[in-house]
């Protein structure tokens, strides 16, 4: 493995803007990073281990509470409310056509 890495060419391929002061730093760091990756690949055999099969686990809602039993407590705890609704600061606006 060669120690010289053309960081400017890599940055160009990745469409990244790299300033001259960053180039010098990266030219020193990238070979060490590549050596580390090479070490990891040797240890793991170079192949990624397959991830376990992911599944969604659903359970029955065995103890549902009746709707609205917490509404009054939530409304009382809110800093501001109107017509049994919590008032919040508007963060989104609609663009009018």
Q: Are 84 and 75 in contact (CB under 8 A)?
A: yes
31 touches 5 (CB < 8 A): yes
pLDDT score for 2: 53
pTM listed for this prediction: 0.38
Residue among 33, 51, 29 at smallest CA distance from 41: 33
Q: 37 in a domain, yes or no?
A: yes
Give the structural domain span for 38. Answer: 7-44
Flag whether 29 is in a domain.
Answer: yes
Structural domain includes residue 68: no
40 part of a folded domain: yes
Residue 79 lies in a domain: no
**Mean pLDDT, rounded, of the chain:** 84
Q: How many domains does the chain have?
A: 1
* Inter-residue contact 87 to 80 (CB < 8 Å): yes
- Residue 15 is classified by DSSP as T
Q: Higher model confidence: residue 23 or residue 2?
A: 23
In a domain, 19, yes or no: yes
Q: Is residue 32 part of a domain?
A: yes
Tokens of 30: 């990238």
> Is residue 24 in a domain?
yes
């Amino acid at each position: 493995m060669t120690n010289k890495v053309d960081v400017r060419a890599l940055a160009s391929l990745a469409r990244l803007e790299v300033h001259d002061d960053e180039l010098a730093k990266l030219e020193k760091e990238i070979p060490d990073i590549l050596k580390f990756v090479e070490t990891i690949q040797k240890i793991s055999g170079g192949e990624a281990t397959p991830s376990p099969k992911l599944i969604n686990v659903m359970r029955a809602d065995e103890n549902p509470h009746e709707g609205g039993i917490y509404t009054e407590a939530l409304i009382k705890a809110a800093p501001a409310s109107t017509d049994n609704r919590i008032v919040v600061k508007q963060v989104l606006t609609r663009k009018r056509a």
